[in-house]
Structure 1
Amino acid sequence: MNAFRVGAAGAVAVLAFATGMQQASAADWSDTSIGYRYGTRFAEPYNTKDLEKHILNVTHASGYKYGSNYFNVDFLNSDGDDANAQEAYVLYRHTLDLGKVTGKEFKYGPVRGLGFTAGFDWNTKNDHSYDSKKHMVVAGPTLMLDVPGFLNVSLLAVWESNHPLGVSSRYSYDTHALLNASWGIPLGKSGWSFEGYTNWIGHKGKNEFGGPTAPEINFDAQIMYDLSGAAGMKPNTLRVGLEYQYWRNKFGTPHKVPGATAKTPMVRAEYHF
């Protein structure tokens, strides 16, 4: 039954991905960037030490007649306390604007529009102890709130599986809920902006080894400044700032486990083209 549910949800995400990619050539707007961030207080479950990580990311966002696409891939390199592990984490989301599709207006009070979001996460890591191979498919409704920039709130169903070391075959968790808020809000004409996301991820049953899991909270936000003018570039080309992540019960690991809660300040820089 789990395999069937994951397969059906995967079809939804693949359809959304294909639709979004077909529309990319007809995008009304698009933004692609390469970014770097660095911190020394990352955490991993069952690891008692603060970890140093360098992260390189490639991000693409675009909008077309009926919705928007968001794609991000992080390449993470850890220090020796995390076995000098290398990791890749890929995320894709497509949001279909139901107002634009149906020709109806879904604006009410603070709500600017209504959408349907689908997508996937894909992860691999070679830390030689757990070796995450996470696959995740999501789908559900999205409220687009009326703020400067954007603020989207989505309630998504999650179909997640993993195949780490010590597990003979891919393991599917219970289907669970994800409440996500993502935002990018300019702070007037100051050159500063407030950006990020918050995920509340519900209980997903037993883990791969039969142990308990716990609901997750993952808050990741940054305050960014546009340095483009000082560098002689067009606006929003070069941006730098500070980022902070609070991740409780990381990957569903109960917070009493060492390393299951991360409190990580970072520096961040982005080049947009």
Structure 2
Amino acid sequence: MKKVVIGTLLSAAIAVPAQAEQYWADNSVSVLYGEDYKLVPEEKLTTMTLEHASGHSWGGLFFFVDRHVGETPEGGTQFKETYGEFSPKVHLVKMDGFVSAINAAFTYEFGSTSDASGQQDNYLYGVGADLAVPGLNYASATYFYANNENVENDHQLTLTYGWNQGNFNIDGYIDYSTATEDLDAQFHFNPQITYNVGPALGISNKVKVGVEYSYWNNKFGLKFIDDEDKDQNAVSFIIKAHL
């Protein structure tokens, strides 16, 4: 399966026109603060994020880097983590209708922590579809086969969506990962609900304030941890500036 998907990605990349065109791009920085995070040394986290998204004649690119800093009320050493994802997609077929494109997709996940407990690198290979859902700015559904040194036959479905009405915005993603011999199935619902206060501040760039909600059933899929210790219900306050 892995070889088939890699071959598809390489074939699609070779087919990318020499005169590729960028249609749009968006860069942002954000700061989040929230509580009730699971499976981190401190349940209170401040997260700083650098994010990029762009659309091209050949497909699209999305990547972000998070820097998590855990709060330590006792004055001890802070927990720190860096986590990122790099996700290009290449159009295999473009069409009119509810399905507007079929894509070859790839995601590279990486992370490290100050206490050396960070995850291994993950490589996700897949195929997906851009969807023209009435009322939404964008939507997509992508199937991934995930590969790393420790887990085999890990399958993931990712849905993304975005909607706005004036300055009010809702966007986010849903991940579902199947169970393996070593891991439980996981479900992660992660929307951001924000309002653009840029016009009120007299600036043309978007400045969004609001909340991010993270519901993560069986976080990381760890079988040896009780459900109440790995089911995450966390709300974070967010401010996000588009550059």
What TM bracket, shorter-length normalisation?
A: 0.7 to 0.9
Q: Residues of 2 paired with 1:16 and 1:124: CA distance?
A: 31
Structure 2 counterpart of 1:76, which letter? H
Trace 1:12-27 onto structure 2 (pairs within 5 A): 26-27=21-22
Instruction: Map Cα deviations across residues 60-99 of structure 1 (whole Å, 9 max, x no partner).
Output: 0111111110011000001238962110111011121223
Instruction: Map Cα deviations across residues 23-45 of structure 1 (whole Å, 9 max, x no partner).
Output: 99x52211101101010111117
Moved over 3 A (4+): 7-20
Structure 2 counterpart of 1:232, which letter? G
Any conservation in 1 of the 2:9–2:104 contact (CA below 8 Å)?
Answer: no
Any conservation in 2 of the 1:16–1:118 contact (CA below 8 Å)?
Answer: no
Aligned twin of 2:78: 84
Q: How many residue pairs align between the two structures?
A: 237
Change (3 A) 1:14 1:58: farther
Q: Residues of 2 paired with 1:14 and 1:119: CA distance?
A: 14
Change (3 A) 1:65 1:261: same
Moved more, 239-248 or 140-149: 140-149
Aligned twin of 1:145: 131
Aligned twin of 2:34: 39
- Shift in Å, 1:16: 8.7
* Higher-strand-fraction structure: 2
SS at match of 1:84: coil
- Shift in Å, 1:52: 0.5
Moved more, 68-77 or 83-92: 83-92
Any conservation in 1 of the 2:143–2:157 contact (CA below 8 Å)?
Answer: yes
Q: TM-score, normalised by structure 1?
A: 0.76
Q: Residues of 1 paired with 2:159 and 2:170: CA distance?
A: 13
Q: Residues of 2 paired with 1:123 and 1:88: CA distance?
A: 5
Instruction: Map Cα deviations across residues 135-170 of structure 1 (whole Å, 9 max, x no partner).
Output: 1111111121113310111111111x3xxxxxxxxx
Q: Residues of 2 paired with 1:137 and 1:63: CA distance?
A: 22
Aligned twin of 2:59: 67
Aligned twin of 2:92: 98
Specify every segment of 5 or more residues in structure 1 that has no aligned partner in the other structure, as ranges.
Answer: 162-170, 207-212
Aligned twin of 2:187: 217
Aligned twin of 1:165: none
Change (3 A) 1:219 1:18: farther
SS at match of 2:187: strand
CA RMSD of aligned residues (A): 3.1
Aligned: 1:261 with 2:239: no
Trace 1:143-222 onto structure 2 (pairs within 5 A): 143-147=129-133, 148-159=136-147, 161=148, 171-187=149-165, 189=166, 191-206=167-182, 213-222=183-192
Aligned: 1:28 with 2:28: no
